[in-house]
Every structure is written in C-alpha cells, then in structure tokens.
Amino acid sequence: MSPELFVLIVAASVLAVAYVIVYPRFAGTDLTKLAINGVLAYGCALLVVGSHYYGTDQRFGEPVLDLGWFGFTVLTLLLVEVPLFYWYARRYRVFSQD
C-alpha cells in the first residue's frame, strides 16, 4: 500500500466516524463543540499516521507537493473534511437562524 493511500484511508476513516457518529451525539449544531471535537479527530489521525511515519524520511505527493507526513496528513484531512462538513452543516442545519 502506498503511503499516500494509507494516509487517505486513515483520514477518511477518522472523519467518517466523527461526522456520522461522534459529532451528532456530542456536538450537534454547536460550532464550539464541533471545533473541539474536530481537534480531537485531527489528533487521532495524526497520532495514527505519526506512529507509522515519525522519524522516517518518507515524502508524500512527490511529483507535485513533496511534503512530510505531518503536512500531507493535515492537507488530506482538510480536503476530505470539506465535503463532509458541507453535508453535515446542511443535514443538521448548523447555520440556520431557527
């Protein structure tokens, strides 16, 4: 398995669990609670990827980006999270004025 695919699988798994199970139960529509839970989700993903690649000279996204494990993981998390947050915000009416 390529390192990029490993990071993508970890990011997608952590964020899927967060948006489908954790956020609806613990955060609801409260943006502060969403942010706190988001930091915890990012921390979990960084912990898993870091435990695998910390101390190695593995580079990610070689032809285009050439990032280390930390930068590539954060970028991947952000790119995976954008459509999930859009779905969550519409589903749970996070920004509604009701």
Residue 32 makes CB contacts below 8 A (sequence gap 6+) with: none
Examine the pLDDT at 97 and tell me if it is beyond 80: no
pLDDT score, position 96: 82
Query: Given pLDDT bands bounded at 50, 70 and 90, which one contains residue 64?
Result: confident
pLDDT tens-digit map of 41-54: 999 999 999 999 99
b/e code 1-36 from CB counts within 10 Å (16+ = b): eebeebbbebbbebbeebbeebbeeebebeeeebee
CA distance 94 to 89: 5
Chain center to CA of 10: 8
Examine the pLDDT at 98 and tell me if it is beyond 80.
no
pLDDT at 84 over 80: yes
pTM for this model (two decimals): 0.92
